[in-house]
């Protein structure tokens, strides 16, 4: 589990003088499910294409098993890719699409002599049919690609890559074109396949839920830089800066001052927290997750505010509360009507402290709550554009 | 709504009826009738005399099509791989000769290929003709180029090459780049990507290019007369003679046209079928 399979050392990438990747340092372990997560234009697809060999970094090194791979073309790398829009060959049927990689003779060196080796036809047949079974497409081998639904095409693309037994599978937003229901199914399916075959997956997505649900490791990227690397729990519970806190899940982000270890001040009040190691009186960002906040009667609250909007979300209510002009999002199962004055209680483990960063002050206020939701829905559109730009 | 929209089709349907269907019907009627108007098969029986013209026409058209394909495919392929600016300029250059009058272009070839034409004078001045004479023991004053089959084929290739390049180029240019990346990713080298993805996917372009060159080439008339000097009579010339020339016989001309049309249709059907078969074969 801890063997470093792929390493990106100080990789930069510039297109037409514009820096797209800014000193990326990253390693990927054997049998790991690693996700590159970030908004459109953050450089995640570029990173994947560097690993796949479709582009060469402007500077820095790509290492597979500590061997420099910068100038090795994609066909000689032991990785395979599942493309964003599948890229299945329309002139071949399902069987031939999956068999494509197996039908290409491999050059092997034997006693200093190079020799071309072909996979025998019987083995091709066996491996293709086996792989179609793994992706639940048994009996589809003679279908034309145009006869398949989006989800089925997706599975063919995965089978076509996996049948070559790559060490690493690269997936570029593979579920982006599927509807929500199918997406959820494919998420667990992908996870199952990854665990069944024990192959390293590098997965690119802008969907934070997808990333949290599937990954062993999440790499959060923005503006060509890695913002944080960690397990899904780490990323959610201990975000490193305001960008990560805002991008992963919902969060209220406030300005605070760290008085001493375990004591933070915001809204002119001191709160106990679990963080330490800051300079005395250091300005910090304070993150409070909306589901961690407990609403109590106004007189019992540590802070007092007025409810300005309530939205029913099924399991809970999204309640926007105005605390002295700063609006918080609170998720609670109890209904509080608009205009009501309420109090809240914060436990020390509800409060997470982050150092100030370039993202401070950009996120975390819910004054423009509904607009933010609209933006979230637009992400998929933006993503499409990004794909086009990078080609 | 639907019937209203159908109104827009009326002008074209009228055009089709008047200028496509009616002429074909007239050709058929003429082909099966005598000058007096009675039914006859004699027009077809007489055609045996012109067997050499038929074979020459199809042979030269086939040769020209093949050469166009051999030149056109690589050109189309390499143009489509360059940047968009290069592509625009290159495609304009491909089309450029077509903006000049067809006869003018063919006359220019005459003056280039003539016995005392540009090429022969060039060969003389650089001593090429003398050199060939010395090596092969011949005694050429000039290379005979005009009035040969070669000249006719050259003229056809020159005139119809853009029709081959254009459809192939547009098919390759529109090809999804991620398909080529996928092939690379699955282990294919440059040649493998071409053979297994680009070539089979560009077949529709090749088929329409072949059609667009072969059909006009087989019925061409001015090229063979101007560059073949009357020694290389082709079907187009023969038909022209029946309608305008001394051998005035529109019934025979119609019959020849009809037979040519049928042969072309059969050729195209077989080829399209073959093209589909090719795709099937790749699939299996």
Predicted confidence (pLDDT) per residue in B176-223, tens digit = 999 999 999 999 999 999 999 999 999 999 999 999 999 999 988 888
* pLDDT band at residue A367 under the 50/70/90 scheme: low
In this structure, are strands A225-230 and A252-260 parallel, antiparallel, or unpaired?
unpaired
pLDDT tens for each residue of B69-125 = 999 999 999 999 899 999 999 999 999 988 888 889 999 999 999 988 999 999 989
Q: What is the pLDDT of residue A374?
A: 46
Residue A4 CA to residue B230 CA, distance in Å, equals: 78
Is the pLDDT confidence value at A387 over 70?
no
Q: Tell me which of A43-47, B52-56, B242-246 is least confident.
A: B242-246
**Are residues A103 and A119 in contact, defined by beta-carbon separation less than 8 angstroms?**
yes
> What part of B 253-282 touches A (C-beta under 8 Å)?
279, 282
**Are residues A354 and A237 in contact, defined by beta-carbon separation less than 8 angstroms?**
no
Q: Do B185 and A81 touch (CB under 8 A)?
A: yes
State how far residue B281 is from chain A, nearest Cα, in angstroms: 10
Q: What is the pLDDT of residue A38?
A: 93
Write out chain B residues lying below 8 Å of A91, CB-based. Answer: 200-201, 279, 282-283
Q: What is the pLDDT of residue B2?
A: 60
**Are residues B219 and B236 in contact, defined by beta-carbon separation less than 8 angstroms?**
yes
From the list A74, A88, A106, the residue facing B185 with the nearest CB is A74
Name the burial class of residue B84, with classes exposed (0-12), middle (13-18) and buried (19+) by CB atoms within 10 angstroms of its CB.
exposed
Q: Do A104 and B179 touch (CB under 8 A)?
A: no
pLDDT tens for each residue of B80-92 = 989 999 999 999 9
Q: What is the pLDDT of residue B275?
A: 62
Nearest residue of chain B to residue A100 (CA atoms):
B186
Q: What is the pTM of this model?
A: 0.80
Arithmetic mean of pLDDT, B265-270: 86
Is the pLDDT confidence value at A1 over 80?
no
Is the pLDDT confidence value at B281 over 70?
no
Is A278 within 8 Å of chain B by CB? Answer: no
Arithmetic mean of pLDDT, B245-253: 85
Q: What is the pLDDT of residue A285?
A: 92
Arithmetic mean of pLDDT, A175-199: 87
Arithmetic mean of pLDDT, A57-75: 92
Q: Do B185 and A80 touch (CB under 8 A)?
A: yes
The overall average pLDDT reported for chain A is: 88
- Residue B281, CA distances (Å) to A218, A384, B272 in order: 45, 35, 14
Residue B55 CA to residue B53 CA, distance in Å, equals: 6
What tokens appear for A183 in the block? 């997406």
State how far residue A257 is from chain B, nearest Cα, in angstroms: 51
Q: What is the pLDDT of residue B43?
A: 87
Q: What is the pLDDT of residue B1?
A: 52
Residue B253 CA to residue B47 CA, distance in Å, equals: 10
DSSP annotation of A278: P
Q: Do A96 and B187 touch (CB under 8 A)?
A: no
Q: Do B187 and A91 touch (CB under 8 A)?
A: no
Pairs of CB atoms within 8 A across A/B: 69
Q: What is the pLDDT of residue A2?
A: 56
Selected residue with higher pLDDT from A365 and A141: A141
Q: What is the pLDDT of residue B276?
A: 60
Most B CBs within 10 Å: which of A52, A75, A82, as the mutation test of the B interface? A75
Q: Do B178 and A83 touch (CB under 8 A)?
A: yes
Q: What is the pLDDT of residue A52?
A: 94
Arithmetic mean of pLDDT, A337-363: 89
Percent of chain A with pLDDT over 70: 93
């Amino acid at each position: 589990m801890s063997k470093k399979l792929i390493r990106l050392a100080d990789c930069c990438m510039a297109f037409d003088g514009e820096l797209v990747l800014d000193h990326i340092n990253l390693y990927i372990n054997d049998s790991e499910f690693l996700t590159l997560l970030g908004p459109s234009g953050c450089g995640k697809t570029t990173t994947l294409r560097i690993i796949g060999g479709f582009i060469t970094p402007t500077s820095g090194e790509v290492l597979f098993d500590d061997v420099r791979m910068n100038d090795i073309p994609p066909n000689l790398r032991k990785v395979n890719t599942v493309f964003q829009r599948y890229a299945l060959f329309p002139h071949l049927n399902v069987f031939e699409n999956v068999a494509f990689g197996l039908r290409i003779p491999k050059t092997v060196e034997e006693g200093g002599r190079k020799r071309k080796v072909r996979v025998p036809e019987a083995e091709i047949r066996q491996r293709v049919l086996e792989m179609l079974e793994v992706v639940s497409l048994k009996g589809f081998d003679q279908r034309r690609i145009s006869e398949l639904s989006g989800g089925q095409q997706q599975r063919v693309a995965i089978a076509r890559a996996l049948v070559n037994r790559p060490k690493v599978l690269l997936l570029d937003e593979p579920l982006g074109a599927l509807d929500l229901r199918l997406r959820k199914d494919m998420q667990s399916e992908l996870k199952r396949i990854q665990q069944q075959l024990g192959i390293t997956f590098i997965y690119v997505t802008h969907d934070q839920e997808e990333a949290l649900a599937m990954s062993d490791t999440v790499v959060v990227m923005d503006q060509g830089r890695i913002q944080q690397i960690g397990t899904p729990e780490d990323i959610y519970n201990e975000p490193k800066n305001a960008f990560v806190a805002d991008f992963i899940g919902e969060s209220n982000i406030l300005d605070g001052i760290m008085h001493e270890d375990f004591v933070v001040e915001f809204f002119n009040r001191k709160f106990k927290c679990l963080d330490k190691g800051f300079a005395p009186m250091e300005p910090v960002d304070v993150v409070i997750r909306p589901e961690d906040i407990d609403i109590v009667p106004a007189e019992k609250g540590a802070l007092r505010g007025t409810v300005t909007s309530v939205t029913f979300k099924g399991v809970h209510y999204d309640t926007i509360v105005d605390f002295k002009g700063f609006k918080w999002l609170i998720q609670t199962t109890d209904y509080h009507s608009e205009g009501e004055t309420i109090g809240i209680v914060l436990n020390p483990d509800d409060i997470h402290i982050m150092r100030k960063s370039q993202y401070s002050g950009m996120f975390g206020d819910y004054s423009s709550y509904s607009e933010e939701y609209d933006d979230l829905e637009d992400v998929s559109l933006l993503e499409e554009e990004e794909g086009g730009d990078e080609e | 709504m639907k019937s209203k929209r159908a109104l827009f089709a009326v002008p074209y349907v009228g055009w089709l009826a008047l200028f496509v269907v009616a002429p074909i019907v007239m050709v058929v009627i003429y082909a099966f009738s005598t000058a007096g108007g009675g039914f006859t098969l004699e027009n077809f029986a007489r055609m045996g005399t012109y067997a050499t013209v038929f074979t020459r026409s199809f042979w030269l058209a086939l040769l020209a099509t093949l050469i166009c394909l051999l030149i056109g495919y690589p050109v189309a392929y390499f143009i489509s791989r360059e940047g968009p600016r290069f592509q625009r300029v290159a495609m304009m250059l491909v089309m450029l000769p077509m903006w000049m009058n067809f006869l003018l272009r063919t006359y220019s070839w005459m003056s280039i290929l003539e016995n005392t034409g540009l090429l022969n004078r060039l060969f003389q001045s650089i001593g090429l003709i003398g050199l060939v004479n010395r090596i092969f023991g011949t005694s050429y004053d000039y290379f005979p180029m005009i009035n040969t089959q070669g000249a006719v084929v050259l003229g056809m290739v020159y005139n119809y090459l853009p029709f081959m390049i254009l459809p192939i180029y547009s098919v390759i240019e529109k090809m999804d780049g991620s398909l080529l990346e996928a092939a690379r990713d699955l282990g294919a080298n440059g040649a493998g990507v071409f053979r297994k993805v680009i070539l089979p996917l560009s077949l529709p372009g090749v088929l329409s290019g072949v059609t667009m060159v072969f059909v006009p080439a087989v019925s061409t008339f001015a090229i063979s007369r101007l560059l073949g000097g009357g020694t290389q009579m082709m079907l187009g010339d023969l038909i022209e003679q029946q309608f305008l020339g001394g051998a005035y016989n529109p019934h025979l001309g119609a019959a020849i046209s009809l037979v040519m049309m049928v042969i072309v249709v059969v050729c195209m059907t077989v080829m399209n079928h073959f093209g589909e078969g090719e795709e099937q074969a790749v699939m299996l």
